[in-house]
Amino acid sequence: MLPFIRQDLAELTAYTPHPGGASGESAHSESAIDRLDTNECPYDLPEELKQKLAWTYQQLIETNRYPDGGHAALKEAIAQYVNESLNVPPLNQGALLNVPPLNQGALLNVPPLSKGGLGGVTPPKNAITADNISVGNGSDELIRSLLIATCLGGQGSILVANPTFSMYGIIAQTLGIPAVSVARKEDNFAIDLEAAKRAILSVGVAPVGAGCANAQNQNPPVRAVFVVHPNSPTANALTPDEVDWLETLPPDILVVIDEAYFEFSQNTLADRLHQHPNWVILRTFSKAFRLASMRVGYAIAHPEFTAALEKIRLPYNLPAFSQIAAEFALAQRQLLLATIPETISERSKLIAALTQHQKLQIWPSAANFVYLRVKASDSKAAEREHQEIMQQLKAHGTLIRHTGGGLRITVGSPEENQRTRDRIAAILT
């Protein structure tokens, strides 16, 4: 290892990128590759929308100029969309409820909601404004920024409940921030709340295996708690008890609620943000909105916190084309989100088919993926079988994710899901 590199980085494992598998190698198959390992939407943008984006790129985007560094138009559009999800009445004539299909070359013009809308209308108490929004180059950048804002420099640790989205711990470790992990219940993957409470109270206790506890090896206090709603990879939504616990956390702990799969669950906690200044909700355009390649994520939080995130993020962090694509997607959201009922129906079919195999244990899903484990005598045997199933599916052209002690399968198109069912049946027969 080069001597100028931080020694602790040698202990980290890089995130395995698409197309999945332990090696990260491409699948070798004569048939079509079904990429069901990263929870993307199986459908690309409609051709008409792609043509409009191409026209915009050719005619309106100056590639020699920096993009809008403040994301003003996109923030306004996001705020309108979030309010719609909260059933907050539109505050101005530019609300996204009635935006007609875009004419070629048309630009979005959403009046500033944070200024009170047209005619000086006062926003409802629970309305989200542009001041509540921060935009990132994917949710990963936002996770990194909020960790810098709360925990960097020995100021705090983070708490996660595994299995969960691995990037929380990975990003924390790259910043030298300790990650405290608690378990989940095996029956429904709810957080072990008693363990979580103990972990938060045990401030100043040396990490396991650290030897003599002193000021240098003690974990700093937990300053951020990360939860996913619904969780990845296990697809379970937060329970009422978990939400109650989050609401009781003290104001000096940041509560990060990742709603990457909101459009599939239709279950959000954004309506409680005005009651909890220490809460932040993360969402993304990478899943239901079909913009994974554009890398657009956003945070919804108290204006003071979004202002802090603005100080931390890199200048011009989101390309102009990504911003325009996200604005177009919001304006055409009824078209893009119209496939969600199909995804929910296909999810039910996939779960029903997998449940027929007595060797598999399947859990309910509130997202666009399904989580399962092989029933085995011990965890090592189960992991060997998980690896074997994943590799056999890969050889036949289906990519799934081996994570969190189980297998996560994205719900794809009807044709992809049928191939998944057939291939798993052949493997388990």
Q: What is the pLDDT along the chain (429 residues), one digit of tens a residue?
A: 788 888 888 888 777 776 544 444 554 545 579 999 999 999 999 999 999 999 999 999 999 999 999 999 999 999 999 999 888 665 443 333 333 333 333 333 333 333 333 334 456 677 899 999 999 999 999 999 999 999 999 999 999 999 999 999 999 999 999 999 999 999 999 999 999 999 999 854 444 444 433 344 578 999 999 999 999 999 999 999 999 999 999 999 999 999 999 999 989 999 999 999 999 999 999 999 999 999 999 999 999 999 999 999 999 999 999 999 999 999 999 999 999 999 999 999 999 999 999 999 999 999 999 999 999 888 899 999 999 999 999 999 999 999 999 999 999 999 999 999 999 999 998
So what's the pLDDT on residue 25?
Answer: 52
Quote the CA–CA distance of 31 and 131 in Å, as a whole number: 49
So what's the pLDDT on residue 297?
Answer: 97
Is the Cβ–Cβ distance between 257 and 279 less than 8 Å? Answer: yes
Task: Count CB atoms within 10 A of the CB of residue 271.
Answer: 14
So what's the pLDDT on residue 125?
Answer: 72
So what's the pLDDT on residue 10?
Answer: 83
So what's the pLDDT on residue 18?
Answer: 61
Instruction: Give every CB contact of residue 410 below 8 A, 6+ residues apart in sequence.
Output: 35, 36, 37, 38, 39, 40, 42, 368, 369, 400, 401
So what's the pLDDT on residue 85?
Answer: 86
Rounded to 5°, angle at Cα 49 from 46 and 55: 140
Question: Using CA of residue 298, residue 301, residue 303, residue 305, what is the dihedral sign?
Answer: negative
So what's the pLDDT on residue 14?
Answer: 76
Residue 402, strand partner residues: 407
So what's the pLDDT on residue 17?
Answer: 72
Is the Cβ–Cβ distance between 337 and 368 less than 8 Å? Answer: no
Quote the CA–CA distance of 290 and 45 in Å, as a whole number: 6
Q: What are phi and psi of 253, to 5 degrees?
A: -115, 125
So what's the pLDDT on residue 32?
Answer: 73
- Dihedral of CA atoms 343, 345, 346, 347 in degrees, nearest 10, equals 80
